[in-house]
Chains A and B, each alone.
Chain A
Amino acid sequence: TAGITQAPTSQILAAGRSMTLRCTQDMRHNAMYWYRQDLGLGLRLIHYSNTAGTTGKGEVPDGYSVSRANTDDFPLTLASAVPSQTSVYFCASSDAPIAGSSYNEQFFGPGTRLTVL
């Protein structure tokens, strides 16, 4: 079982260009998430989706957009990249949270290392 795959593994991008980071999971999880990891800051949530067709904003959503057309795919788009978006991006998935519960394990992909120059 592949779990979660992310593409590309790494990318160097010129400022002002757009880019889509891809994420696919094969665990039939309803919920998916995008995080960025920056040195000394841990992981921060960018956007999430509890089920296909719905998305929500996380802690640091500005400059990013997501879509969730089906259960398996959750692409993250940078419309016009800026150097502060240089980071490692992780996609994750989990069973959909039941209202009031918070114990579902989130499974993480291997990450995409993005450098914006």
Chain B
Amino acid sequence: AQSVTQLDSHVSVSEGTPVLLRCNYSSSYSPSLFWYVQHPNKGLQLLLKYTSAATLVKGINGFEAEFKKSETSFHLTKPSAHMSDAAEYFCVVSVSPAGFQKLVFGTGTRLLVSP
């Protein structure tokens, strides 16, 4: 079975300070891992994905994530937060067990950025 745990429901940072959104996963298969972002009243947009090519993955808007198999973690980071980063972030495990792609979503982390 696959599952995703996002360790914080809310994270608050000041503009210009680092961002850390934590994610742990469990999967019976060799998973792909994604981070999606959802701005208010919008659909989801892919930030980055891990597909076993490299453990440190760089995404859009300065975000990156590191896959650590020993810790079953895929934490999302950004060196310096911007006001426009305020949104909901979802960590996602993707597997293909029976001929279709199954995405298992975490419950989300809301990032709040203050001036």
Binding site for B on A (CB under 8 A): 4, 31, 33, 40-45, 48, 50, 56, 58, 90, 92, 94, 97-106, 108-111
On whether the beta carbons of A97 and B99 are closer than 8 Å, the reply is yes
Number of interface residues of B (CB under 8 A): 27
Q: How far apart are the CA atoms of A42 and B45 in the complex, in Å? A: 14
B103 touches A (CB below 8 Å):
yes
Task: Give the residue name and chain of the A residue nearest to B4 (CB).
Answer: A42
On whether the beta carbons of B100 and A56 are closer than 8 Å, the reply is yes
Q: Looking at the assembled complex, report how far the CB atom of A71 sits from the nearest CB atom of chain B, in whole angstroms.
A: 16
On whether the beta carbons of A103 and B43 are closer than 8 Å, the reply is no
**Contact (A43, B101) CB under 8 Å given A90-B44, A102-B31:** no
Main secondary structure of the interface of A (DSSP, over half): loop
On whether the beta carbons of B105 and A106 are closer than 8 Å, the reply is no
Chain B positions within 8 Å of A48 at CB level: 100-101
On whether the beta carbons of B96 and A45 are closer than 8 Å, the reply is no
Q: Looking at the assembled complex, report how far the CB atom of B9 sits from the nearest CB atom of chain A, in whole angstroms.
A: 8
